[in-house]
Amino acid sequence: MILPQAPIYIDGQPVITTYYLQNGYLMVPALFFKYTGVFVDWNVENQSVVLKRNNMILTLPSGKKYADYYVKDMWQRDLLPTITTNFPDGTYIPLQYVSEKLGMTVSYHFKQSRTYIVTNTPPSSIPRIYYNGDPSKKRVALTFDDGPDNFYTPQILDILNDNGVTATFFVVGKQVKLFPQVLKRILQEGHEIGNHSWSHPELPKLTTTQVIQEVQKAELEIDSITGRKTVLFRPPFGLFTNADLRTIDDLGHQIIMWSVDTLDWQGISEEEILSIVKRDVSPGAIILQHALLTAPRILDGTVKALPGIIDYLRKRGYTFVTVHTLIEGD
């Protein structure tokens, strides 16, 4: 059965989710709560969803009924909502009950037919997300995701080396394991390494424990080869929830996004990539490119455009730095 979708507004921001109504209760996927900043896991031994927020822990054993805890005087116990067992994608839990148990406020706007959640999260407690550096300084960071590989990454390194440019490579653990010598070369030639997960999954679809495993497994692989730990993390596909942001921050990493997306992964031409950079670049920019052979000739445009990007930006007074230097303002 295909479930309907609708936006639920979390602190004013819409999050599209599937849902269904069970006896008048709005049921949403357990993982939806990651968008509110709640850590979500699945206890295999007890067959239960475990939700954590601040010092609060809520455990929902599968198949149990929960609305009787929420509506004290409800007598029709056969009509109360239950959760299903196919975690994570098929597990739905009652929105209002869970939200309020974890200290959040839920309201429904009848005229707009919208559901709102206010998380009551202090803004000062939300880790920073970096999209760019200091806009007052004409500096730019080139970044390359998804590698290393033994085809495109060496070509990119050759061009950077020929032009005396340092860049930041957000590497995937599985690729690091396959091409350790290329990773060593990246470091030896003065470039920066960031963590891009172990297997490049969509983080919102993972439990909190799975997210931790993705980051830590990649980190261990990188450290075993380079003897160094990373402090930067770029979420695969640029996708993450508020819970993922907190998890990654707890692991000692800063989330790095971008301000210029070259769309090179689409296999576009050198001219198209350069045109995007010229259109979107500004002081403090973080430029997103890729360094992994996923299909024949897919990143030929990346390699061909790179010398032109370097030349164009240098002529306009830009200095090339690593992401860490860009965001720290050194």
- What residue ranges in 82-160 does DSSP mark as E strands? 92-94, 105-109, 114-118, 129-130, 139-145
Active site residues: 145, 290
pLDDT at 69: 42
Domain boundaries, the chain: 5-124, 129-328
Residue 136 and residue 105: Cα distance in Å, rounded?
40
Can you give the pLDDT of all 330 residues of the chain as single tens digits?
Answer: 688 999 999 999 999 999 999 888 899 999 999 999 999 999 888 888 999 999 999 999 876 555 444 433 333 333 344 444 444 457 899 999 999 999 999 999 988 889 999 999 999 999 999 999 999 999 999 999 999 999 999 999 999 999 999 999 999 999 999 999 999 999 999 999 999 999 999 999 999 999 999 999 999 999 999 999 999 999 999 999 999 999 999 999 999 999 999 999 999 999 999 999 999 999 999 999 999 999 999 999 999 999 999 999 999 999 999 999 999 865
pTM given for the model: 0.91
Q: State the CATH class of domain 129-328.
A: alpha beta
In angstroms, rounded to a whole number, what is the distance separating the alpha carbons of residues 106 and 87? 24
* Contact predicate 266/237, CB 8 Å: no
* Cβ proximity of 254 and 231 under 8 Å: yes
SS3 sequence of 194-217: EECCCCCCCHHHCCHHHHHHHHHH
How many CB atoms sit inside 10 A of residue 51's CB?
A: 24
For the chain, what's the residue count?
Answer: 330
Listed in sequence order, the DSSP H helices in 119-237 are 152-163, 173-178, 180-188, 208-226
Residue 78 confidence (pLDDT): 38
CB atoms within 10 A of CB 284: 21
